[in-house]
Chains A and B, each alone.
Chain A
Amino acid sequence: MRWTKWALATCVAASHLAAAQSPAPAAPQARFVVVLDAGHGGDDTGGHLANNQLEKTFTLALSVRLRSLLAARGIQVVTTRESDANIDLNHRAEIANRFHAQACLSLHASQSGSGVHLFVSSLAPAQPMRFAAWKTAQAAWVTRSLALAGVLNSALLHAGMNVTLGRTALPAVDSMTCPAVAVEIAPEQGSDKKGTAQLDDQGYQARVAEALAAALLEWRAEEGQR
């Protein structure tokens, strides 16, 4: 028994010594994960855009571009698809929920309307519950989703884009347990309803992606203060 007491005392002394010699460990950096859900894919082509472009192709390209921008800024990104794959809507929400993300963006594109459309779930806000119904899981996050939409709106307006805010019922978003916003990119139109930037315009895509990345950085700063 004597040798065990001696070993224990040695370990305690060594740990005290190590604690004294090494600097105090820095507080762990808050984890910040963004989920990018490129809409459609595989058999589900989504809408048909100008110049024979498909919505599934556009959303995947935007997801890849945005992922690179966010990764370069030190943000951990999870994507629901990296190729032209058919991902079930429920599986998209499962991926988002598994990573407990601080922001989930569902990316879409449309030939209708103008500029960028931001949509938050139309579910009524509800208190978080231990077991949430799958189809209305987003209800507990709607308030934060609206806040995230506000940050995205500010960044896109700052980038000089037309922005439309709205509420809608989207099957994947309604099941996500994270601040979630559906981002739909449409061609940019002037007041005369003539297009100033089409969806296949690389410069336009880059501006949108930069604005979204800037907004997510701002959101990370806000989340850090919570």
Chain B
Amino acid sequence: MIPRHQSILFIVLLVASLAMGVMLWQLRERAHRQLVAGNNSAPTQAPQVAPAVDATLLVANDADGSLLTQVHSLPLPQDPGARARAVLGKLLDIYAAPDAAHPVPGGANSVAQVFLLPLSGEAAADPAGPQLAVVNLTRSFAATHPSGIETETLTVLSICGTLHANLPRVTQVRFLVDGQPRATLAGHADLTRAFLAAEAVPTEGTHP
């Protein structure tokens, strides 16, 4: 003979199981309806596109070893780190183009990240103080970069000068390759030191 309290407990558990099953079925149906509705929905709101602003690029020229200032209108994000990456991406796209004056394969994807850090010391507390930019390049960019003192130096200086021209708070630049320090870019230019960004900005068309 089954005790009375066990019979009541069994009935309660059975009812609860049935209720949860019904609820689960309803939730599944609702999620399915939302998924179908989402697939069929047409865009009703235009995507947010950053307004185009003038970006100053220091473009290298191997023929005479010069850096020339070019101004391009680019949609740039507000975040300074993302903005720096976008500007450098445009610069490296120019170098990857056919018949470039400073041919370097890779393009915009060669810049993995740009980190902007306050320089140590008193200026660290100043929100408008000088910054150190750490440019993380991809390994494939360094591996395919043409070897030579002039071409490597021009790449480094054009990156430093372009960063300083668009983000004046950037006064020093350091380089990483796949997140690691690297002795040279492609066998010549020293990548272990911090570069003074302002020194890379030449007067129009002059040698660095």
Contacts and interface: CB of A to CB of B under 8 A. Distances in A.
B190 A113 contact: no
A135 B193 CA distance: 10
B190 A170 contact: yes
B207 interface: yes
Contacts of A112: 62, 146, 148, 150-151
A37 interface: no
Which of A48, A135, A171, A189 is most buried by chain B, counting CB atoms within 10 A of its CB? Answer: A171
B62 A113 contact: yes
Nearest to A189: B63
Contacts of A135: 193
A182 to B, nearest CB: 6
Tier of interface size on chain A: 20 to 34
A113 B187 contact: no
Interface stretch (A10-18, A39-47, A139-147): A39-47
Nearest to A164: B65
B26 interface: no
A110 B147 contact: yes
Contact of B190 (A44, A174, A189): A174
A171 B79 CA distance: 35
Helix, strand, loop or mixed for chain B's interface?
loop
Interface residues of B, number: 24
A47 B187 contact: yes
Contacts of B149: 108, 110, 117, 119, 168, 170, 182, 184
B148 A110 contact: yes
Contacts of B64: 114, 164
Interface string A98-136: 000000000011111110010100100000000000010
A166 interface: yes
B153 interface: yes
Contacts of B147: 46-48, 55, 110
B63 A165 contact: no
B188 A166 contact: no
A165 B150 contact: no
B29 interface: no
Interface string B51-67: 00000000000111100
Nearest to B101: A193
Interface of A: 40, 44, 46-48, 55, 108-114, 117, 119, 122, 135, 164-171, 174, 182, 184, 186, 189, 193
| 8 pairs of A and B residues whose beta carbons are closest in the complex | A110-B148, A47-B147, A164-B65, A112-B151, A169-B190, A168-B153, A117-B150, A113-B62
16 contacts: A40-B187, A44-B187, A46-B147, A46-B187, A108-B188, A110-B147, A110-B151, A111-B146, A112-B62, A112-B151, A117-B65, A119-B153, A122-B199, A165-B65, A165-B207, A166-B208
